[in-house]
Amino acid sequence: MKKYITLLALGLCLPLHAGSKDTFTTKIKPFLEKYCIECHGAGKKVKGHVNFKTITNMESAYKKHELWGEIIELMHDKDMPPEDEKQPTAAEIKMYTDWYTEKFINIKPRPGVARMRRLSTEEYRNSLKSLLGFDLTVNSSATAETRLEKSLVIKILPQDPPGKSGFSNDTIQTPINSTHWEKYSYLANSAIENLFSAPYRKQLEAYTGPISGKFSVTNAKKIIPKFTARAFKTLNNKDYVRRALSKIAADYKAKKNLEESTKSELKAILMSPQFLYVGSYNAQKKGPQIVSNDEMAQRLSYFLWGTIPDDELLKLAAQKKLLNKTALIAQVDRMLNDERSKTFSSTFIRQWLSLDEIKKMRGNNPSIMAYFNQPLEFFDYLVREDKPLLEVVDSKTTFVNRNLLGYYDKKDTSKLPQQRAPKGTESPIFPMMKMEMANTPYRGGVLTMPGILAMYSGNKRTSPILRGVWMLERILGDHLGAPPMDVPSIKQPKGGKLTFRQLFEAHRDSPACMLCHVKIDPLGFGMESYDYMGHYRKNSKDFDASGQAPNGDKFDDFAGLKKILLKRYDEDMVNTVTKKMFAYAMARKLEAYDNPVINKIAKKMEKGGTYRSLIKEIVLSQSFTQTFVK
C-alpha cells in the first residue's frame, strides 16, 4: 500500500504545464475511454462517484490530482480494471505512469494562490476572547456535572463544516453572508457592552489606562490604537487610527457622549474585514512573492494558536524581523511551549481523527467526556514533548482519569493518585493524569483508546467495517470512494449459522465488494481484539482478530497487526500526518503543486521525524513563507 507518489525520486523539476501538446487529450483520454469510461462515465450509474467524462482537459485534470496516483496503485495491484475486463498492456501502463510522473511528480513547486479567508467560528471565538480578555458566555442553570456549551459565539454562529482540506479553518468556500453579518453585529455589540461593564473594568483599563470617574478623552486616545492593532493583527494602522480618533473628537466637540462614540468606533473595528478575515498580500505584484511580516504573524498565530497574534509577534512583524529563519524557529518553539498551543493540538487531532464521533455515539455527559479528552491530552503531550510522529499509534504513555482506570492493568493504575468526587456531584469531570503503561501491553497510541474504539459501535456490537474504513482513511491516508449502489446486503443464509466474520468473508467474495474490502477487512477485524466499549478481549469462538494484511503479512490479533503497521506501513502513516498537518497549516485543499514540498518534508520525517520538526519544516517551507498572486 506504499503510495506511488512516495516511491518516485524527484528528478528535474518541470513547469506545471510542461509541453506544448495536450497529452491528456491525445493520450490519457483515449486510455480512459478504452479501460475506464464504461463503468465511470458511460451510463447513468457512475461507480465510485468517479466520472471521467467530466474531466476534459489538463486544467480539469489538475483539479483531480489525487485521483491519478490512485489509478496507478489500482493498476499496480491489478484491482482495476476488474480481472474479467480487458487489461492495459505494459506499454500502456508505462505511458500512463510517465504522464503522471511528468505532470504531477516532477513539477516545479509553487506557493498557493493569495487569498483572504474569513475566520472560522472557532477562530472568531478565540480571536474575540484574546482581544477582550474574557469569553462571551451565556447564563446557564445547569448542574456541575452537566457539560453544556457556554460560549455565546458557539451558540449563535453556525458551525463550520470541514472544507476541502478536511479542516474547518478552510473557509474559502463559505464566505460571509447576511446571516453571518447580522450575528457578527449582535456579538460585537455584546462584546463592547461587556467590556465597558463593571465586572470587566480590569480588562477595559488594560486598554484605556486608569479610568477616574467618567470615561475621558485620554482613555479614548489610548484604547483606539491598542485595540485596533490587536484586532487588525498589525501595528501598521496609523491612517485608520487617525481617522477613528478624528471622528471621536468631532463627536465630542458636538457634545455627543464620548463613551458611546468610542464604543461605536470599537464596534466598527470588530465589523471590519481586517478583523473578520485572515490574510494580506501585495495585489500590485503578480506571481510568487514572499509574504509580508504581518501576514507571517497571522499565519503563525492562526496555525499554532488559532487566534490573533500576540504583542511579541506584532512587534517582530513591525520591525521586519519575523521572516528570518532563526526567528521563525524561535517563535515556533515559544508558541508551542505556550498554553495557547493546546488550541492547535486539540483542534488538529479532533478534526483529523473525527473525534466528535465519540460525542455522537456516547452522548455529552462528564463521564463520557473522558473518552473524548484522552486523545486530546495525549496529542498535546506528543507535540509539547516533541515525540516521534509514529508515537501517535504506539506509545508507552497515555492519559487517564478515574473513568478510564478499568481499561488498564491495575499494576499501572495503582501508581496514580486517587480522584474523589466532590460532595454534591454525581458525575464530575475528573482531570487527566499522565500514566506510563509498563503492564498494559494491549494499549498504546490512539488506536487502542477506548473512545476511539467505541466511536463506530452501536447496539452493543462492534463494526469492523467502519473501524477499518476509519483506520484506512485517517491513519493510512488511503481514501475510499463511496460504495457502489448495487452492493448486496449482508444476510444470513437460510438455515445457516455463519459467524459474523464468515458473513463478511462471503460478502467480500463479491467482485463488486472485493476491491475495497481487501483493504478494509484486515484492519477492521484486527481491531476485534476490543469490544464495542473498547475493552480488551482475546480471540474466541465468538470473534476472531487474526488476519492477513494486503502485503501478505499474517497476524493473530491487534498487537500483531500494529507491528505490521509500524514495520510495513510506516511511510504511509508519516505521509498521512505530513499531508494532514500541511493542509491544516495552510487552511486549504492540497493542490498538485504542493506535492514536491510535501514529499520532501515527508522524506525527512521518515528518518525519526518528530511533531515539532514537522511543524518547523512546514513553517519554513516555500508554501508557508510565500504566496502566489494571479
> Whole-angstrom Cα distance, residue 558 to residue 547?
9
Contact 519, 467 (CB under 8 A): no
Domain that holds residue 370: 355-454
Give residue-wise pLDDT tens across range 294-313: 999 999 999 999 999 999 99
Could you tell me the sign of the dihedral formed by the alpha carbons of 392, 393, 398, 404, in that order? positive
Residue 18's pLDDT is: 40
Examine residue 373 and state whether it is found in any structural domain, yes or no.
yes
Residue 154 pLDDT greater than 80, yes or no = yes
Q: For residue 434, what are the β-bridge partners?
A: 399
Helix (H, G, I), strand (E, B) or coil at 400: strand
Residue 458's pLDDT is: 74
Query: Both 125 and 51 in a single domain?
Result: no
> Whole-angstrom Cα distance, residue 194 to residue 401?
36
Contact 385, 438 (CB under 8 A): no
Q: Which of 578, 577, 562, 545 is nearest to 448 (CA)?
A: 562
Sequence-distant (6+) residues with CB within 8 A of 370 are 400, 401, 403, 404, 430, 432, 451
Sequence-distant (6+) residues with CB within 8 A of 70 are 479
Q: Which H or E run includes 598?
A: helix 595-605
Residue 482 pLDDT greater than 70, yes or no = no
Sequence-distant (6+) residues with CB within 8 A of 438 are 396, 411, 412
> Whole-angstrom Cα distance, residue 399 to residue 246?
55
**Which is more confident, 603 or 3?**
603
Query: Both 381 and 314 in a single domain?
Result: no
Q: Which residue has the cell 498580500?
A: 281
Half-sphere exposure of 106 (CA within 13 A, CB side): 15
Examine residue 66 and state whether it is found in any structural domain, yes or no.
yes
Residue 43's pLDDT is: 55
Contact 235, 317 (CB under 8 A): yes
Count of C-beta atoms within a 10 Å radius of residue 283: 9
Give residue-wise pLDDT tens across range 246-274: 999 999 999 999 999 999 999 999 999 99
All three cell numbers of 487, joined, read 452492493
Residue type, 243: R
Going by pLDDT thresholds of 50, 70 and 90, the confidence category of residue 518 is confident
> Whole-angstrom Cα distance, residue 408 to residue 460?
21
Percent of the chain with pLDDT over 70: 86
Query: Both 291 and 272 in a single domain?
Result: no
Examine residue 534 and state whether it is found in any structural domain, yes or no.
no
CA torsion, ordered 95, 97, 99, 103, to nearest 10 deg? 180
Average pLDDT on 390-414 reads 97
Query: Both 162 and 204 in a single domain?
Result: yes
Residue 22's pLDDT is: 76
Q: Are strands 433-436 and 397-400 parallel, antiparallel or unpaired?
A: antiparallel
Examine residue 535 and state whether it is found in any structural domain, yes or no.
no
* Residue where a domain terminates, one of 403, 427, 454: 454
> Whole-angstrom Cα distance, residue 267 to residue 264?
5
* Residue where a domain terminates, one of 413, 437, 454: 454
> Whole-angstrom Cα distance, residue 337 to residue 384?
7
> Whole-angstrom Cα distance, residue 117 to residue 559?
44
Query: Both 386 and 300 in a single domain?
Result: no
Residue 13 pLDDT greater than 50, yes or no = no
Q: Which residue has the cell 471622528?
A: 247
Residue 144's pLDDT is: 45
Query: Both 380 and 415 in a single domain?
Result: yes
> Whole-angstrom Cα distance, residue 212 to residue 224?
18
> Whole-angstrom Cα distance, residue 607 to residue 116?
36
Query: Both 269 and 140 in a single domain?
Result: yes
> Whole-angstrom Cα distance, residue 78 to residue 62?
25
* Alpha-helix residue ranges (DSSP H) falling in 134-177: 152-156
Give residue-wise pLDDT tens across range 527-542: 999 999 999 998 888 8
Residue 6's pLDDT is: 34
Query: Both 302 and 264 in a single domain?
Result: no
Helix (H, G, I), strand (E, B) or coil at 610: strand
Start-to-end C-alpha separation, the chain: 37
Query: Both 262 and 122 in a single domain?
Result: yes
Half-sphere exposure of 129 (CA within 13 A, CB side): 18
Residue 267's pLDDT is: 98
Sequence-distant (6+) residues with CB within 8 A of 212 are none
Write down how long the chain is: 630
Number of structural domains in the chain: 5
Q: What is the pTM of this model?
A: 0.88
Residue 491's pLDDT is: 60
Q: Which of 595, 489, 515, 490 is nearest to 50 (CA)?
A: 515
Residue 19's pLDDT is: 41
Contact 445, 382 (CB under 8 A): no
> Whole-angstrom Cα distance, residue 479 to residue 500?
25
Query: Both 185 and 264 in a single domain?
Result: yes
State which of 98-112, 140-154, 354-368 shows the largest mean pLDDT. 98-112
Query: Both 582 and 449 in a single domain?
Result: no
Phi, psi of 176 (to 5 degrees): -65, 130
Examine residue 152 and state whether it is found in any structural domain, yes or no.
yes
Query: Both 142 and 217 in a single domain?
Result: yes
Examine residue 484 and state whether it is found in any structural domain, yes or no.
no
Mean pLDDT of the chain: 87
> Whole-angstrom Cα distance, residue 481 to residue 351?
20
DSSP secondary structure of 178-218:
HHHHHHHHHHHHHHHHHHTSGGGHHHHHHHH----SS--HH
Q: For residue 458, what are the β-bridge partners?
A: 461
Going by pLDDT thresholds of 50, 70 and 90, the confidence category of residue 339 is very high
> Whole-angstrom Cα distance, residue 287 to residue 289?
7
Examine residue 515 and state whether it is found in any structural domain, yes or no.
no
Examine residue 42 and state whether it is found in any structural domain, yes or no.
yes
Residue 258's pLDDT is: 97
* Residue where a domain terminates, one of 64, 79, 105: 105
Residue 35's pLDDT is: 77
> Whole-angstrom Cα distance, residue 304 to residue 14?
33
Average pLDDT on 198-219 reads 96
